[in-house]
Amino acid sequence: MGKFVNNTEEFFTFCEENDVQFVDFRFTDIKGTWHHVTYRMSAVNAGQLNNGLPFDGSSIDAWQPINKSDMLLKPEVETAFLDPFTADPTIIVFCDVYDIYKNQAYERCPRSIAKATLAHADSLGIADTAYFGPENEFFMFDSITFVDNINEAGYKIDTEEGEWNSNNPYPDMYNTGHRPGTKGGYFPVAPTDSAVDIRAEMMQVLEQVGLEVILGHHEVAQGQHEIGIVFSDMIGAADNVQKYKYVIKMIAHLNGKTATFMPKPMFGDNGNGMHVHQSLWKDGKNLFYKQGNYANVSEMGINYIGGIFKHARSVAAFTNPSTNSYKRLLPGFEAPSVLTYSSQNRSASCRIPYGAGEMATRVEMRFPDSSACPYLAFAVMMMAGLDGIQNKEIPIGPMDEDLYELSLDEIREKGIPQMPHTLRGSLEALFRDNDYLKPVFTDEFLEAYRHYRFERDVWPDEGRPTAYEFKTTYQC
């Protein structure tokens, strides 16, 4: 799998061979949402691909003001792939965003920030390549309804796999009785696993758009799934997350279902994570490998972990950027919130995969989730890791015991730091701890990001009563 075209000339040849009628130019905003504008193929020329396409940046959340709204999309034709869902042949192209007022890559463009992070690592002489391998879990439901009004609020999720449907008479069909139950969904076969065919379709379409698929399976929670894909360089891995989300959501939609990457949509069952495998390389050598060390991880790899853990509270503002993120990190649901590392032990925030040799040794950060913008999440972890390498940070660990069995007091007694407990906490930490980001992230971006998250997520969430608050407080 991989690239379909390598340059502008091949792009036009590929489009002609596939009778492409439309070109869909896509870019990512600071919250990770994919946006697009579609051009007729006949209206696209090499000059536009090389010089950029104009668009209005003032209509995108947390971007340009109305008086400086003109921006350029800079297409990267090497990312082109055919859209598998459109009625007419359409080719999708990833774009970076260019600031015409400062004549530079836009400082709020996540993809450009990720590229600058790679350039920074190279300029330090530390690494010339970074590989990332995200694992995005998702839920697939039969329906979702929600309301958020001044006098009412609530949601209702339904899936045929939900244990609450065990006594549902189903007037138009019989009740099969085969359901995974709460926390019972890991690796069951059909009919308990009700999505074998849909996942197979997802896997095939993911391959059509250029991803190399390894496996697919049911996850722990009811209606929860995961499809594993091969790692890539940092930008390619983040691009793949955008493709992955698009395909998963569309295949579910076309099968009469709805897919979500929301970290914790259901109370009492496991949530969705985005475990991220990472390694740094230079001159073709894996810098995280040292045979004979614990789990074969080099001192540089340990320092990289130490940097991420040192800055974890502010890193979380990007890796766990929703108020819902912290409902997933509560103890009791395989929550990777204890900041230590281990080989094999999945209860640690960082796992070093078992049995990895020189080519595969890596660190796996288990606390991120898919509400993150992948470009920003990867860039922030790498910047924290680079800071750890420069300052020889040593994390607490290794700890091979089951950390889920430790009480909060025991965790504190052992001196093990934890992830923040709220989005507010992570954003306040970002205000105090951001110097490690400064070589790449501008003050303007950091302030805009923090302010946006407070206005869009924290304050509205904190101001709303919940059903549980009525349950516990109404009769006071």
Query: Rounded mean pLDDT of 282-290?
Result: 97
What pLDDT, on the 0 to 100 scale, is given for residue 171? 85
All CATH 3.30.590.10 domain ranges in the chain, comma separated: 129-473
Lowest mean pLDDT of 199-203, 287-291, 400-404, name the range: 400-404
CATH for the 129-473 domain, from 3.10.300.10, 3.30.920.30, 3.30.590.10, 2.60.40.10? 3.30.590.10
Tens of pLDDT, residues 134-158: 999 999 999 999 999 999 999 999 9
CATH code 3.10.20.70 for 8-106:
yes
Annotated binding residues for Mg(2+): 135, 137, 219, 226, 275, 364
The catalytic residues are 56, 135, 137, 219, 226, 275, 346, 364, 366
Report residue 333's pLDDT band, with 50, 70 and 90 as the boundaries.
low
Tell me if 373 sits within 8 A of 110, measured CB to CB. yes
Query: Rounded mean pLDDT of 17-27?
Result: 98
- Look at residues 69, 121, 123, 118 and name the one whose alpha carbon lies nearest to residue 97: 69
The Cα–Cα gap between 202 and 209 comes to 11
Annotated binding residues: 135, 137, 219, 226, 270-271, 275, 277-279, 328, 334, 346, 364, 366
What pLDDT, on the 0 to 100 scale, is given for residue 332? 58
Count, residues in the chain: 476
Residue 289, beta-bridge partner list: 297
**Residue 179 phi, psi dihedral angles, 5° rounding:** -140, 145
Q: Is pLDDT larger for residue 88 or for residue 68?
A: 88
All CATH 3.10.20.70 domain ranges in the chain, comma separated: 8-106
Q: Is pLDDT larger for residue 382 or for residue 413?
A: 382
Q: Which residues of 421-441 are buried (b: 16+ CB within 10 A; e: fewer)?
A: ebbbbbbbbbeebbebbebbb
What pLDDT, on the 0 to 100 scale, is given for residue 334? 65
Report residue 409's pLDDT band, with 50, 70 and 90 as the boundaries.
confident
